[in-house]
Structures are given as C-alpha cells and as structure tokens.
Amino acid sequence: MALCGRSIVCLTAPRGNVARLPLAFAVACARAVGTLSRRLGKGGGTSAPGRVLLGVRPGAVGELAARLPDGTVMVSATNGKTTTSRLLGSCITAKGWSTVANSAGANLFFGVATALLDPGIISGTTTFGVFEVDEFALPSVVDQVAPRVLLLMNVFRDQLDRYGELESILDSWAQMISRLPTTTTLVLNADDPAIAALDDGRHPVVWFGLDDPSVASAQMAHAADSTRCRRCAHDLGYAWSTVGHMGEWACPQCGAHRPSRDVSATRVELLGVGAVRLEMRTPQGSISTQVALPGLHNAYNVVAATAAALALGVEPEIIGAALAQADAAFGRAERVEIDGKSLVLLLAKNPAGANVTIQTVQLDPAPLHLLVSLNDRTADGRDVSWIWDVDYEMLLPRIAHLTVTGDRAYELALRFVYAGFPRERIQIELGAEAALDSALDALEGDGVLYVLPTYTAMLELRSILVNRGALRAYWEHV
Ligand SMILES: [Zn+2]
C-alpha cells in the first residue's frame, strides 16, 4: 500500500532520536496511521500502525502491555488459535474485565503492537489483553510481554516453505519457556505429545485434553505429523487418537505418556455441522456447555479456552454460559446467508485442518455442495503439495456438486481426479466471484454450500460477500 509505516516515521520522528517520543504521542501517531488507512480504503490497518509505533518507540509493546493491570493471555497453535482466542475472550468479557484483543487475526508482532494501540490502555479503562500469536512470532512477543497465562494448543505441519520443520518451532518454544518468569502459568494440551514435552518443570501447568474415546479413532489419522517420542525418538503408541497425532499416547521405550488432565472433556457430542456439546471435568467442578461450532477440533478449542479461563480465575458458571453465547471467528465455521441461500466458510489451510473440516462437513446428512479454493500466496504457503495429504477421498461418495477455484485450481482438480472423482463433474472456475456464483447456482432447496478455502482465498471470498452486503468487513468484526 502507498501509505507505509516507514514514510510516516520519516515524517514524524526526529532522526536519531526516535526512541524518545513520549509513549502517548507515539500511540497517537500510530493510531492516526490506522485511521488514515481505513479512510483511504486500504483495509483495517491491522499491522501498519504497529510498525509505526515500534518505529517511534521500540519498547512500546512491553510498555503498553505493562499498563494492563489484569495482565495478558497469549494463545498459539497451528490450528484453532483464532477460534480459541475468541472463545476465551467471551469468557473474560463475561467476567467483567475490559479487554483488548487482536481479533482481526493480525497475529504477527506488528499485529499485536497494533492491538495495543487501544485507547483504553492509555486512559486506564482497558485492563486485560487476549492475543493470538503466530507460532514463529510467539517467542519475540513473549520476550517483550511475559503473559500471565500462555496457552499452547497443538503443532501441525503447516505451510512448508514458510515454517520449515516442526522441530524448529518446538525448539524455539522450549527456549522461550526457559526464559519465561515462573509467574507465567502454562496451559498445555496433554493430548499432543509435542506440546506435552514443553513442560520444563519450572512453571505451573494446567493440562487439558479430551477423554471421550467414543469420538476417537483406533487408527492414527493419515496426516499425523508428530508420532515420535520427543524424549527418546521411539515411535509412540496410541490407545486411540482424536485429531491428527493427538490422543491417548505413550512411549513404549522410555515410558513418557499423556499427562493426567486437569481440565478434561469427559463427554463430547458432535451435533451435526451446527454445534458441539461438552461435559467437562475441572478442579473447580463440572461445566456443561453447547457451543455453536462444529467438529472434534472445536471440542479441543472449547476445552483449551476453558482451561485458560480457569487459570485466569474465571468462574466455571461464567465460562459455561459465555461459551454457549460465543459465535464463530471470521472464516472459521462462519455461516453466511446470501440471496436466500446458506453457505458456511470453513478455513482449510493445512492437512490436519483440512481433514477435520472434511470430517465436519460429513456430519451433514444431505448431499454435499462444495466450493474448494486453493491459493499459493505467501500467507497460504507457496508449496501446495500438502493437498496430497488431505483425505478428500472420504468426501467422494457424498458430493452432489463440486466447484474448485483459486490460483492453483487445476492442481486441486487433479487431486480430486486422482482421488477418483469424475473429471466431468468438477466445475473449474478461475475467478473467485464466478466460482461463488457457480457454486450457489448449483445449490438446491435448503441445502448448504460448504466453502473450504485457504487463508487468502478465504479473505478474497469474504471480501466478495462483504461487497454483496452479506457480511461485515473483517476489521468491523468484533
Ligand atoms: Zn520415549
């Protein structure tokens, strides 16, 4: 965009003296960039103001976070961090704390800095921060802002060319935790062996997990990533698995095993594509709730949010009610009504995420209308070979109509052909607008169109839906 943070810094900051701008003035400058950006139609300004802030006041992130008297919680994961942060934010708001959050999904360092420009922090009315943070950005954010609670949910193989090996994320997280003050409580997923290995014995830990084998599988999912013991590298054994490599695991060689859960879903009911109902056991008593989000992966998001909320001192009865009232984060099981028809946006950006999405849409007993969109832009990952690890085969008997689109529409079509879907039944549309129209036209009666996009494809489709008046822009989505 033409209005870049760097040019504003040059206009406002005395050369060589940038760190000395008073905090309140630095915040005002950075906020002005966000306002201008929106007025110029350049989007929500979710990162540029943060860049300006740090340009004129490099330590501002730590300084602003220190003004939150109730502290902060940070949430990271490959999958589910946006939804979980939203669920957690609902619990904390219900407790009565005034929160700031990077709810627009701007989860890199500058996105967090932008969120901290909340005017309530300077004025003293905002008391708590809820931040979802990208896996790679997490150590740099945590080094500046030691959170009161750090929620780590899962690590799956994501965009290969961006992240490289899973090991590098896990190593950087282990080093980050070793630097964290012991006043930070870790909330860790006991079902993910890679996350469980992050317990360094120095920090208070709240463990969470699922304990309802009736929703689990006896076999490891096809796209499981992390099945070696983190301690001795031996293959792990599983009594049952839930999502990817998560489940009831143990190492037959060294004896490492799933930690006992402090907060556990003892009963999980998948209520079609509309909701999930959970009974949870916690040290503070049981919690029953029904959340308007579908699928087993969302059961994890609910338990994770509950564990973090309890660690922050939110009462169980507040949590149950707040979760039941939470709605979907943008693009994550978001239901949209357009021209008298319904569509559901289900972000599918990596093999594990796409596979749980595939399991979720199968909960709808009706013939499936699908729009699948594959982009290969920077935020999606340029390497799209991950689609060959997605179990599209599971969908084939159920598909009534399939439209594929995106920058790599032809590769996606090829994937479905290799899966065994007839080429002549695949509608290939290169433009997102045409693809949406085509898929909606094919929809019959009161059916639902399930849209499975990668990240930038989701933003593109959402933008079309905003222009057609079916949705609000993402920066208005609170
Ligand atoms: Zn082992």
The model's pLDDT over 249-285, given as tens digits with 9 standing for 90+, comes to 999 999 999 999 999 999 999 998 889 999 999 999 9
pLDDT greater than 70 at residue 476: no
Minimal CA–CA distance to 131: which of 106, 156, 154?
106
Instruction: From residue 203, give the alpha-carbon distance in Å to each of 198, 242, 339.
Output: 10, 27, 53
Is residue 295 within 8 A of residue 360, CB to CB? The reply is: yes
Distance 194 CA to ligand 1 centre (A): 12
**Is the CB of residue 135 less than 8 Å from the CB of residue 169?**
yes
Judged against a pLDDT cut of 70, whether residue 442 lies above it is answered with yes
Ligand 1 centroid – CA 195 distance (Å): 14
**230 alpha carbon to ligand 1 midpoint, in Å?**
7
| 459: nearest Cα among 112, 160, 107, 105 | 105
DSSP element (H, E) containing 303: helix 296-311
CA 307 and chain centroid, separation: 17
Classify residue 121: in a domain, yes or no: no
Give CA–CA dist 3/304, Å, rounded: 39
Residue 139 CA to ligand 1 centre (angstroms): 26
Helix (H) or strand (E) holding 11: helix 5-12
CA of 175 to the centre of ligand 1 (A): 21
The pLDDT of 378-394, averaged and rounded, is: 89
In contact, 451 and 461? CB cutoff 8 Å: yes
| Cα gap 412→387, rounded to integer Å | 8
In angstroms, the CA 122 to CA 23 distance is 9
Q: Are residues 300 and 400 in the same domain?
A: no
- 91 and 207 co-located in one domain: yes
> Cα of 186 to ligand 1 centre, how many Å?
22
* Domain stops at, among 268, 302, 325: 325
Instruction: Tell me, in angstroms, the distance from the centre of ligand 1 to residue 255's CA.
Output: 6
Rounded distance from Cα 238 to ligand 1 centre (Å): 13
Rounded to the nearest angstrom, the distance between the alpha carbon of 329 and the centre of ligand 1 is: 37
Q: Does the structure show a pLDDT above 60 at 11?
A: no
Confidence band for 156, pLDDT divided at 50, 70 and 90: confident
**Residue 395 confidence (pLDDT):** 94
What pLDDT digit, counting tens, does each position of 336-365 carry?
A: 999 889 999 998 888 888 988 998 899 899
Domain boundary among 298, 325, 352: 325
CA-to-CA distance for 12 and 22, rounded, in angstroms? 12
* Distance (Å) from CA 242 to ligand 1 centroid: 20
Judge if 341 and 464 occupy the same domain: yes
Surface-to-core class of residue 383, CB atoms within 10 Å of its CB (0-12 exposed, 13-18 middle, 19+ buried): exposed
CA of 247 to the centre of ligand 1 (A): 16
Within a domain: 49: yes
pLDDT at 161 over 70: no
The pLDDT score that the predictor gives to residue 353 is 85
Q: Residue 55 CA to chain centroid, in angstroms?
A: 28
Q: Across the strands, what pairs with 444?
A: none
Q: Which has the closest alpha carbon to 60: 133, 135, 121, 124?
A: 121
Using the mean position of ligand 1's atoms as its centre, give its distance from the Cα of residue 355 in Å. 27
| pLDDT at residue 158 in the model | 65
How many angstroms is it from 252 CA to the middle of ligand 1? Answer: 7
Average pLDDT, rounded, for the chain: 88
Rounded to the nearest angstrom, the distance between the alpha carbon of 233 and the centre of ligand 1 is 6
Q: Is the pLDDT of residue 10 over 60?
A: no
- Reported as a single tens digit per residue, the pLDDT across 225-246 is 568 898 999 999 999 999 888 9
Residues 445 and 315 in one domain: no
217 — pLDDT class (breaks 50, 70, 90): confident
Q: Look up residue 124 and give its amino acid.
A: G
pLDDT of amino acid 157: 74
> What is the 20 CA–ligand 1 centroid distance (Å)?
52
**Residue 123 lies inside a defined structural domain of this protein:** no
Looking at the fold, whether 271 and 350 belong to one and the same domain comes out as no
* Residues 6 or more apart whose Cβ sits within 8 Å of residue 306: 91, 208, 263, 280, 282, 287, 319, 323
How far apart are the CA of 258 and the centre of ligand 1, in A? 12
Structural contact between residues 404 and 387, judged by C-beta atoms closer than 8 angstroms? no
Looking at the structure, tell me whether residues 97 and 22 fall in a common domain. Answer: no
Instruction: For residue 425, report the distance from its CA to the centre of ligand 1, in Å.
Output: 48
For the ranges 12-26, 198-212, 416-430, which has the lowest average pLDDT?
Answer: 12-26
Answer yes or no: is pLDDT of 1 > 90. Answer: no
My answer on whether 317 and 208 are in the same domain is yes
Q: Which pTM does this prediction carry?
A: 0.84
251: CA distance to ligand 1 center in Å?
5
Å from CA of 449 to ligand 1 middle: 45
Whether residue 418 is contained in a domain is answered as: yes
**CB neighbours of 401 closer than 8 A, spacing ≥ 6?**
369, 370, 425, 427, 439, 442, 443
| Confidence band of 7 (pLDDT split at 50, 70, 90) | very low
Please say which residue of 310, 325, 340 terminates a domain.
Answer: 325
Cα(228) to ligand 1 centroid in Å equals: 8
Among 164-173, 181-190, 221-230, which is the least confidently predicted range? 221-230
Q: Do 181 and 288 belong together in one domain?
A: yes
Q: How far apart are CA 28 and CA 48, in angstroms?
A: 13
CATH of the domain at 240: 3.40.1190.10
433 CA to middle of ligand 1, Å? Answer: 51
Distance 257 CA to ligand 1 centre (A): 8
In this structure, is the dihedral angle defined by the CA atoms of residues 193, 194, 197 and 203, taken in order, positive or negative?
A: negative
User: According to the model, what pLDDT value does residue 478 have?
Assistant: 37
**Cα 149 to middle of ligand 1, angstroms:** 28
Sorted by sequence, the CB contacts under 8 Å of residue 98 that are 6+ apart come out as: 120, 125, 126, 127, 128
* Ligand 1 centroid, distance to 304 Cα (angstroms): 25
Instruction: Give the count of domains, the chain.
Output: 3
Which percentage of the chain shows pLDDT scores above 90?
67
From the CA of 197, how far away is ligand 1's center (Å)? 11
Q: Compute the distance from residue 133 Cα to the ligand 1 centre, in Å.
A: 30
Rounded CA separation 281/394 (Å): 33
Mean pLDDT of 210-227: 76
Residue 223: pLDDT above 80?
Answer: no
Region 33-58: what's the mean pLDDT? Answer: 79
Per-residue pLDDT tens over the stretch 452-470: 999 999 999 999 999 998 8
Let me know whether 405 and 258 are in one domain: no
Q: Is 224 a residue whose pLDDT tops 70?
A: no
Report yes or no on 159 lying in a domain.
Answer: yes
The reply to whether 375 and 465 lie within a common domain is: yes
Question: Which pLDDT belongs to residue 283?
Answer: 97
Looking at the structure, do residues 295 and 181 belong to the same domain, yes or no?
A: yes
Q: What is the pLDDT of residue 220?
A: 65
Asked if residue 28 belongs to a domain, the reply is: yes
The reply to whether 273 falls in a domain is yes
Q: Classify residue 95: in a domain, yes or no.
A: yes
Decide if pLDDT at 420 tops 90: yes
**Plot region of 16 (φ>0 → left; ψ -120 to 50 → alpha; else → beta):** left
Residue type present at position 171: D
CATH classification at residue 369:
3.90.190.20
Structural domain range at position 321 = 70-108+131-325
pLDDT of 218 reads 75
**268 C-alpha vs ligand 1 centroid, how far in Å?**
30
Claim to verify: residue 214 and residue 356 sit in the same structural domain: no
